[in-house]
Structure 1
Amino acid sequence: MTKTPKISLKNVCKSFGKKVVLKNLSIDIHEGESLVVIGGSGTGKSVMLKCILGLLEPDSGEILIDGQQVVGLSVAEREKTLRKTGMLFQYAALFDSLPVWENVAFGLIQAQGMDRKKAKKIAYEKLALVGLGPDIASQNPASLSIGMQKRVGLARAIATNPEIIFFDEPTTGLDPIMGDVIDNLIRDCTRELGASTLTISHDMESAQKIADRIALLYKGNVVWVGPANEIETCGNPYVEQFVKGDINGPIELDILKP
């Protein structure tokens, strides 16, 4: 018997006025799988993620988490579903008003009502997993480098031991070395948790490092999906153009012409 996907999108559509962003988008993320969705700007990656998180409501289609329809859920029901998820935001999105350890423990304290002392201990453990020592825990996030902020964001994303983790452009703004550090941490931490992960990215090198499967999104639909190690040899013209960064090919660029 086939296992129920951890996340399943079925014929999801979303438009803003006349602009169609998602068009019958269908894709599954399996339990324990790392799926990276790649694509250029404006292809629908962020809108897809916001629909899964309930920040946007699809015009039509289904979004299921563990087989449960999440489109149209009440706020209370959606919050219950989201408790099994964690997220690393594009720019970490840390609270400057809180020290690092409270940022990491935020979900434990606010969502789970955990005792602060116990939550602080877990925060220190998660910071250690991403290579940050106790000296960082009491610092203000604004005093940290972008790379360190990303690591704090990753520690927060895994603090509740979530079943599902979302990564929004995890290597944006990082130099190649720190980008590689973050990729390795994402891969190692999520494997240790056994979490299912969905990453949206335009960074091909990063995608190949952390993905089991890669899906290419274009004009709100999946034009190719397959194992990460096959992306450079799959022969799909959309993938070939995207990988090479070629201006010529089936992917049309929205460039203003004189």
Structure 2
Amino acid sequence: MANKPDPDAKIELRGVHKRFGPKVVLDGIDLTVPKGESLVVIGGSGTGKSVMIKSVLGIVKPEQGEIFVDGQNVLKMDQSDREDTLRKFGMLFQGAALFDSLPVWENVAFGLIQGRRMKRKEAKEIAMDKLSKVGLGADVGELYPAELSGGMQKRVGLARAIAADPEIIFFDEPTTGLDPIMADVINELIVDSVKELGATTLSITHDMASARKIADKIAMIYRGKIIWAGSVEEVDKSGNEYVEQFINGRADGPIQMEVLKP
């Protein structure tokens, strides 16, 4: 008989496998995100971080395993239940992923207007409020994404992620492409936003400064498996040679990058 879902978990992955043709991307992932906690998954490019998040959201369908959100197996849900579950999520995409043709406020309010059929006036008020929470004034709401710097676009993306007061927020490489100061500003905003909402968060990043700032717990993924997990305080004394190589950014170690020699 299958074990029951963990009652303290907001998200739980058990034995999740996903391959694309011959390439195994997730090779039996086991991961638990406790309610109200911030878990950051670290790992290099191509290790399965994004596919893991897409599997939870139902964008990618694993061949094997179980994925629970609030104790419900999302892989066995019908369309209606899946849509209800997706309403619990907010998402900050890598590169902000804003709609160029929409003004900033409408980008923030997109899920409210399109997903929740909210009246535009009410949705705009919420959007402006969320923009103020990430330090952007009402004038920015009327601009278009192309008129914003990278850091401002990322803040708009964060405002959109929190627009519907989600229970769960996914952060996909939240500081990629930002200078260290702006990256720290985004990390601070993430911490403050999550604290205010009381949300559960799952983030994926290879930026250790970001991981240390926003995480309660850190897990490392390598070749489609979680090879280490612990508190943010424990990561520097993990005793795991893969983790130590990754967090110190060393070329030499068990993780070998495939580099084409001339």
Shorter-chain TM-score range: over 0.9
User: Where does residue 209 of structure 2 map in the other structure?
Assistant: 205
TM-score normalised over the length of structure 1: 0.97
Paired with 2:106 and 2:243, the residues of 1 have a C-alpha distance of: 42
- 2:129 is aligned with 1:129: no
Gaps of 5+ in 2: 1-5
- 2:71 is aligned with 1:67: yes
Deviation at 1:233, TM superposition (A): 1.6
User: Where does residue 171 of structure 1 map in the other structure?
Assistant: 175
Paired with 2:9 and 2:213, the residues of 1 have a C-alpha distance of: 23
Paired with 2:235 and 2:261, the residues of 1 have a C-alpha distance of: 32
Select between 71-80 and 234-243 the one with higher mean Cα deviation: 71-80
Paired with 2:169 and 2:258, the residues of 1 have a C-alpha distance of: 31
Deviation at 1:70, TM superposition (A): 0.6
Paired with 2:104 and 2:21, the residues of 1 have a C-alpha distance of: 41
- 2:155 is aligned with 1:151: yes
Contact 1:4-1:67 at 8 Å conserved across structures: no
Paired with 2:250 and 2:199, the residues of 1 have a C-alpha distance of: 35
SS in 2 for 1:253: coil
Paired with 1:62 and 1:142, the residues of 2 have a C-alpha distance of: 41
Paired with 1:74 and 1:256, the residues of 2 have a C-alpha distance of: 46
Select between 69-78 and 134-143 the one with higher mean Cα deviation: 69-78
Deviation at 1:108, TM superposition (A): 1.1
Select between 67-76 and 91-100 the one with higher mean Cα deviation: 67-76
Contact 1:12-1:60 at 8 Å conserved across structures: yes
Contact 2:7-2:71 at 8 Å conserved across structures: no
- 2:24 is aligned with 1:20: yes
Deviation at 1:256, TM superposition (A): 3.1
TM-score normalised over the length of structure 2: 0.95
Deviant stretches of 4+, over 6 Å: none
Contact 1:26-1:222 at 8 Å conserved across structures: yes
Residue 5 of structure 1 aligns with an amino acid whose one-letter code is A
Residue 62 of structure 1 aligns with an amino acid whose one-letter code is E
Identity of aligned residues (%): 62
Deviation string for 1:62-111 (max 9, x for gaps)? Answer: 01100101114333332211001000000111111111111111111111
CA RMSD of superposed structures (Å): 1.2
Deviation string for 1:186-209 (max 9, x for gaps)? Answer: 011011100000100000111000
Deviation string for 1:121-163 (max 9, x for gaps)? Answer: 1111100000000010111111101100000000000000000
Contact 2:217-2:232 at 8 Å conserved across structures: yes
User: Where does residue 38 of structure 1 map in the other structure?
Assistant: 42
Deviation at 1:18, TM superposition (A): 1.4
Residue 55 of structure 2 aligns with an amino acid whose one-letter code is C
Residue 162 of structure 2 aligns with an amino acid whose one-letter code is I
Select between 94-103 and 60-69 the one with higher mean Cα deviation: 94-103
Paired with 1:105 and 1:38, the residues of 2 have a C-alpha distance of: 30
User: Where does residue 229 of structure 1 map in the other structure?
Assistant: 233
Deviation at 1:40, TM superposition (A): 0.4
Select between 70-79 and 223-232 the one with higher mean Cα deviation: 70-79
For 1:41-190, what aligned pairs fall within 5 Å after superposition?
Answer: 41-190=45-194
For 1:246-257, what aligned pairs fall within 5 Å after superposition?
Answer: 246-257=250-261
Contact 1:214-1:227 at 8 Å conserved across structures: yes
Q: How many residues align?
A: 257
Paired with 2:256 and 2:54, the residues of 1 have a C-alpha distance of: 24
Deviation at 1:238, TM superposition (A): 1.0
Paired with 1:143 and 1:76, the residues of 2 have a C-alpha distance of: 38
Paired with 1:74 and 1:140, the residues of 2 have a C-alpha distance of: 37
Paired with 1:92 and 1:75, the residues of 2 have a C-alpha distance of: 27
